[in-house]
Amino acid sequence: MRHQHAKPHHHTVVVPALCWGRDRSEFYAVTDIVSPDGIHFRSATTPLVDEELTCNIRHIGAVETRVVSIGGCAFVVRLLARRQAVASIARELRLLSEQQEATVPVRAHPRVTPLKTDVTIELADGRIVPAKLLNISASGVAFTLDAHVAIGASITIGRTAARVARHFEHGVGAVFDTAFDPQAFDQHITL
């Protein structure tokens, strides 16, 4: 299943990243789309256009980038590397996209079962539906609900913004737009 508005050569891939710049402390971001114009990220932190960032992308590693556009809670970067290296990274991200479309899970942090499992999910169309949390980690969550949500869709779980990363037999997996601090994270978490 492809991002609803994805164009040819645009691939939805949702994996966490840790980004930083020379004059900026590190911040979490989540990849969104890989396209000919660059890697699209969602984050609560918005860098500046032309800012150079190092982005340590889960399963890819650290890459040097330059921000080419910003908007809302999103930004787009281009890789600062030789053409061969850029092509190799693009292939890896496309492979991750295909794996996610085939519902292969991507885990960044250990999971716990929260004590409070009932939660509401706000869908992109504004509907609010009840859901049950199955497990949660500092970077994402698995839950069940009685509504279809597309891979790549933006949702709000309780008060926490996230993006749907995968479907599985009895539920949905989502990656938080901003990961929780793993040291401050436990089964008492409330989204």
User: What pLDDT digit, counting tens, does each position of 139-154 carry?
Assistant: 889 999 888 888 889 9
Q: What is the pLDDT of residues 112-129, one digit of tens each?
A: 888 889 999 999 899 999
Topology of the domain comprising 118-184: Thrombin, subunit H (2.40.10)
Name the CATH architecture for the domain at 11-101: Beta Barrel (2.40)
Output the pLDDT for position 5. 42
- Between strands 160-168 and 128-136, the pairing is unpaired
Closest CA to 26 of 187, 179, 186: 179
Query: How many alpha carbons fall within 13 Å on the CB side of residue 59?
Result: 22
Taking all residues of the chain, what is their mean pLDDT, rounded to a whole number?
Answer: 84
Question: In which residue ranges of the chain is CATH 2.40.10.220 found?
Answer: 11-101
Q: How confident is the model at residue 109 (pLDDT cuts 50, 70, 90)?
A: low
User: The pTM is what?
Assistant: 0.53
